[in-house]
């Protein structure tokens, strides 16, 4: 398992993380301690978008209780492991008024933007975002290098989302639903076409009979 993760880190040119993964501070520290050497050997740093930093700051200042504490610890982690992270902008300098889009929007945009030139690894514990990353990657218009989406496990490892049974089941269900929609539309189209043909033929026959009577 860990050898496959090391290989994944070595292969991917661009690695980034979202808010949900950074909020799992203790688990993420396990990941860093386990793969710090691999990251440094590969010359990789984990990129943190300013949108992610903004979300952490908002949670720290506005949320209450444990969520605020975890956001504060996540921001502190960016400084504690400065040799591992590469922040798009220093956390203290991120201007909320300038950052317009959400972290998810920025990350999904990166899939398309970097794909022609870089193999990518996105770390997130948000299943909707993981699914969205793979959906964007699978679009026929998006050509290029490999894109991986992975979540953190409790012991600080990574699990590729596309390998999970849940993803496979969802993919199959979506494919079946799409086929059923097409089949239903095709049957409906044939029925409407048949009815329209009967109406046209019937109308022509009525006109012919009227012409004969005249």
For residue range 73-125, list pLDDT tens digits in order. 999 999 999 999 999 999 888 887 777 789 999 999 999 899 989 999 999 99
Residue 2: which region, alpha, beta or left (left: phi > 0; alpha: psi -120 to 50)?
Answer: alpha
pTM: 0.74
Q: How far apart are CA 187 and CA 184, in angstroms?
A: 5
- The two three-digit tokens of residue 13, written as one number: 């040119």
- pLDDT band at residue 197, thresholds of 50, 70 and 90? low
State residue 143's pLDDT score.
Answer: 77
Instruction: Convert the pLDDT of each residue in 20-36 to its tens digit.
Output: 999 999 999 999 999 99
**Closest by alpha carbon to 116, among 148, 147, 144?**
144
Q: How far apart are the first and last CA of the chain?
A: 88
Please give the average per-residue pLDDT across 135-139, as a whole number. 86
Task: Please list the alpha-helical segments (H only) found in 1-46.
Answer: 2-11, 19-22, 25-42
Query: Could you tell me the pLDDT band of residue 192, with boundaries at 50, 70 and 90?
Result: very low
Tell how strand 147-152 and strand 158-160 pair up: antiparallel
What span, in angstroms and rounded, lies between the C-alpha atoms of 3 and 66? Answer: 34
The answer on pLDDT for 151 being more than 60 is yes
160, 148 contact by CB (below 8 A): yes
Residue 162 has pLDDT above 80, yes or no: no
165-190: per-residue pLDDT in tens?
Answer: 454 455 445 545 554 544 444 454 45
What integer pLDDT is reported at residue 163 of this predicted model?
52
What are the CA-CA distances from residue 156 to residues 21, 25, 33, 35, 160 (Å)?
11, 10, 9, 9, 13
Q: What is the pLDDT of residue 76?
A: 96
Q: Is the pLDDT of residue 206 over 60?
A: no
């Amino acid at each position: 398992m860990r050898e496959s993760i090391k290989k994944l880190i070595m292969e991917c040119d661009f690695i980034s993380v979202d808010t949900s993964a950074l909020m799992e501070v203790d688990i993420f520290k396990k990941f860093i301690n386990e793969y710090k050497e691999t990251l440094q050997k590969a010359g990789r740093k984990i990129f943190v978008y300013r949108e992610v930093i903004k979300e952490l700051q908002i949670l720290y200042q506005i949320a209450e209780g444990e969520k605020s504490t975890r956001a504060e610890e996540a921001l502190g982690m960016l400084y504690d492991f400065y040799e591992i992270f590469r922040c798009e902008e220093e956390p203290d300098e991120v201007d909320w008024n300038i950052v317009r889009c959400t972290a998810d929007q920025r990350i999904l945009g990166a899939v398309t933007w970097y794909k022609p030139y870089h193999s990518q690894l996105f770390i997130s514990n948000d299943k909707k975002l993981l699914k969205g990353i793979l959906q964007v990657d699978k679009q026929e218009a998006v050509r290029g290098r490999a894109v991986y989406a992975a979540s953190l496990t409790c012991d600080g490892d990574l699990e590729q989302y596309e390998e999970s049974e849940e993803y496979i089941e969802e993919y199959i269900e979506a494919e079946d639903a799409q086929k059923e929609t097409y089949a239903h539309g095709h049957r409906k189209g044939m029925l409407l076409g048949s009815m329209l043909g009967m109406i046209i033929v019937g109308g022509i026959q009525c006109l012919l009979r009227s012409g004969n009577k005249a």
